[in-house]
Structure 1
Amino acid sequence: MSDGGTNNQNHKQLSDIPFSVLDLAPVVEGGKAADSFRNSRDLAQHAEKWGFNRFWLAEHHNMEGIASSATSVVIGYVAEGTSKIRVGSGGIMLPNHAPLVIAEQFGTLESMYPGRIDLGLGRAPGSDQATARALRRDLGTNGQEFPQLLEELREFLSPSTSAPRRVRAVPGEGLSIPIWLLGSSGFSARLAGQLGLPFSFASHFSPEYLLPALDLYRSSFQPSEVLDKPYAMAAVNIAAADTDEQGRYLATSMEQQFLNLIRGKTGRLKPPVDNMDELWNEHEKYAVYQQLKYTFAGSKDTVKQKLQTFLDDTEADEIMVTSQIFDHQARLRSYEIVGEIARGE
């Protein structure tokens, strides 16, 4: 595998790799969490039909516009409504939890939906300090304990040995649940490489370190019983529609969401607007565009071209798509278009 440069003459095509879905179970203005869960399951059912590889949900807390805080519960709801697509976490913020609890939760999910569950792990709190305190997280840590927590979790999931264990994950012990490391910096990239685990980078909101992190992951990779070569997934935001103008219009909901985050606010996903310049100043506009560098909005041809350039630059083994689109039918149409692109249509 290349180190991520663009001089390789044998670039992958979009139809050569799997595409997957990252869903934040968005709660829209005027909507409720119950609506979000039904929409997420409906999206997963369509994604399965359109050939997407996996459907991940993310752990966030104290955010009015994201309903997937009880991530493993929502994974079970989505898995129950589908039959083939892999369902998992993108991710579980491991320092928020006892590793034994996560081993049991995902052991339960894998027992219910065998061969379909992914366990993506992150080391950030997924929340602010007050929320971290409410989660009983040790505020004196900064994620450096993540390797030890990961080792403990993997031990709980590993097959039993001749020496009896005092504490066992039941269910969980001995089950084959793929573990992914997620990250937006070099820490998890290096760790995933050293452990020979698949790696997913959060380039949909943290684009600047994407290429260095992929290089670090690939250069530090050591073959393991899990992988014999690196496997990297990268995330992008997509608002695809039948015209460029419509795609750009749909993307303004996500731009408003990030604008609020920059202003220190949270809220439900807002309807799209005709003119973002009425809402932000030049500094805020620049900051939002920096964070949303890998956001591809527009028609099928426009999105396809941008996705191919992204694949050329990253040589990703898989692309994960997230679409914070206000209208559910428009969100479905966006993923339908991505599915067509992925199938080479």
Structure 2
Amino acid sequence: MVQSPLSILDLVPLVPSTGAAAALRASTDLVRLAESRGFRRYWVGEHHGVPNVGASAPAVLIAHLAAVTSTIRVGAGGVMLSNHAPMVVAEQFATLEGLHPGRIDLGVGSAAGATAEIAETLRQGAPAGFAGKLADLAAFLHGSFPPGHRHAGIRVSPAAVPGPPLWMLGAGESSARLAGELGLPYAFAHHLNAAGAEGALAAYRGSFRPSARLSQPYGLVSVAAIAADTEAQAHQLARAAGLPDDLPDGMVVGDGPTVRAALAVLSDELGADEIMIVTNVFDAAARRRSYTLLAPFS
């Protein structure tokens, strides 16, 4: 078995009793650890109105995390594009790329990351129109609009900065096929839909068309995992995070060697080019320890 490169998805687990500032400091410490231990990239999500999640403004958080590191790739996993104007997202991430050249990733998804009421507030009543927004975003970042297009004369600022790599996120076959048809790298949310992973990745590879950005398919798989020094400690952390003894499908919990071996098996089974670990535990020290046990340089 060959272990795929490892990365981290951070949703900024937040404990109301300690507050958002503590959760954000924990993420700052964690990205430094990730860089020192050889993780390939560190992504943050976008969620709104979730009491125990502090990741709501990816571009702002990415700017901070990239500023306290120097080599690890930092990005969005992802921006929920239906909530935003494509040109705004393009300019935010072009600015980030200008500040941290070669280190920024932009993953986009079609979900709201919010309740229907909050999504309506974010969008101010405008229709989501994800596929059209994705096409506009790609054109703003990496290309140009055809003559006669309503945006043909518009250029993002800073115009001299090439856009960062654009990723498609998803948890089903429709997003996988869209990523393949557009020649984008694809990040599958195994931590949300473990049963759908094999079908989605097959759909992605089967529909893939080489693009100027990517010559062959590249599939990243995000996996929920908790590691500790002992299996009992790992299951205790899972219970403290509100998970029942019957763990969610596809979640890996155990001591370091057990979880590392399980991730390697999963990577082989799915043909994953990269594994992104999601460890949503509220104890910051335990979360750091989990990633330390699973790190490439452990």
Normalised by the length of structure 2, the TM-score is 0.93
1:90 maps to 77
Q: Output the aligned Cα RMSD.
A: 2.0
The one-letter code sitting in structure 2 at the alignment partner of 1:328 is: A
AA matched with 2:132: Q
Equivalence for 2:133: 149
Summarize the Cα distance change of 1:124–1:214 in structure 2 as closer, same or farther, 3 Å threshold: same
Contact 2:98 2:161 in 1 (8 A): no
Moved more, 301-310 or 181-190: 301-310
Tell me if structure 2 keeps the 8 A contact 1:52–1:85. yes
> Could you say which residue in structure 2 is the equivalent of 1:242?
229
Query: What one-letter code is carried by the residue in structure 2 that aligns with 1:67?
Result: G
- Please state how far the C-alpha of 1:31 moved relative to its aligned partner: 1.5
Q: 1:185 — aligned with what? A: 172
Q: Which residues in structure 2 correspond to 1:34-49 (within 5 Å)?
A: 34-49=21-36
Q: Give the corresponding residue for 1:13.
A: 2
Say yes or no: does 1:106 pair with 2:82. no
Match of 1:317 in 2: 273
Q: How far off its partner does 1:134 sit?
A: 1.2
Structure 2 contact 59–76 (Cα < 8 Å) conserved? yes
Q: Which residue of 2 aligns with 1:63?
A: 50
State how far apart, in whole Å, the 1-side matches of 2:6 and 2:288 are. Answer: 15
Within 1, Cα distance between the matches of 2:109 and 2:222? Answer: 15
Residue 194 of structure 2: aligned partner: 207
Shift of 1:326: 1.8
Tell me, in whole angstroms, the C-alpha distance in 1 between the residues paired with 2:180 and 2:146: 29
For 1:118, the equivalent position in structure 2 comes to 105
* 1:327 aligned partner: 283
Counterpart Cα distance in 1 of 2:143 and 2:265 = 42
2:288 corresponds to 1:338 = no
Partner Cα distance (1:138, 1:216) in 2: 33
State the Cα distance separating 1:172 from its structure 2 match.
Answer: 5.3
Task: State the alpha-carbon separation in 2 of the partners of residues 154 and 237 from structure 1.
Answer: 29
Q: State TM-score, norm by structure 1.
A: 0.81
Cα distance change of structure 1 residues 210 and 159 upon mapping to structure 2, 3 Å threshold: closer
**Structure 1 139/161 Cα, relative in aligned 2: closer, same or farther at 3 Å?**
closer
Conserved 8 A contact 2:46-2:79: yes
Summarize the Cα distance change of 1:327–1:153 in structure 2 as closer, same or farther, 3 Å threshold: same
Task: Quote the residue 1:78 is aligned against.
Answer: 65
- In structure 2, the CA distance between the partners of 1:172 and 1:57, relative to structure 1 (3 Å rule), is farther
What residue identity is the alignment partner of 1:293? D
Inter-partner Cα distance in structure 2 for 1:112 and 1:120: 18
Amino acid of the residue matched to residue 265 of structure 2?
T
Q: What is the CA–CA distance in structure 2 between the aligned matches of 1:183 and 1:137, rounded to whole Å? A: 24
Match of 2:261 among 302, 305, 308: 305
Counterpart of 1:296 in structure 2 is: 252
For the pair 1:223 / 2:207, whether they are aligned, the reply is: no
Contact 1:59 1:71 in 2 (8 A): yes
1:162 and 1:296, CA in 2 relative to 1: closer, same or farther beyond 3 A? closer
**Residue 58 of structure 1: how far off its partner (Å):** 0.3
Question: Structure 2 regions of 5+ residues with no counterpart?
Answer: none
Q: Distance in 2 between matches of 1:162 and 1:216?
A: 29
1:159 deviation in Å? 5.2
Q: Which amino acid aligns with 1:69?
A: S
Letter in 2 for 1:55: Y
Structure 2 letter corresponding to 1:195 = L
Identity of aligned residues (%): 42
Secondary structure of residue in 2 paired with 1:135: helix
State the one-letter code of the partner of 2:29.
Answer: D
SS of corresponding position for 1:224: coil
Change beyond 3 A, Cα 1:84–1:69: same
Give the Cα–Cα distance (whole angstroms) in 1 for the partners of residues 177 and 159 of structure 2. Answer: 27
User: What SS class does the counterpart of residue 324 from structure 1 fall into?
Assistant: coil
If you compute each CA radius of gyration, which structure gives the higher value, 1 or 2?
Answer: 1
Contact conserved, 1:57 with 1:90, CA < 8 A, in 2?
Answer: yes
8 A Cα contact 2:90 2:140, kept in partner: yes
Partner Cα separation in structure 2 for residue 227 and residue 154 of structure 1: 13
Gaps of 5+ in 1: 1-11, 257-275, 278-284
Name 1:261's counterpart in structure 2.
none
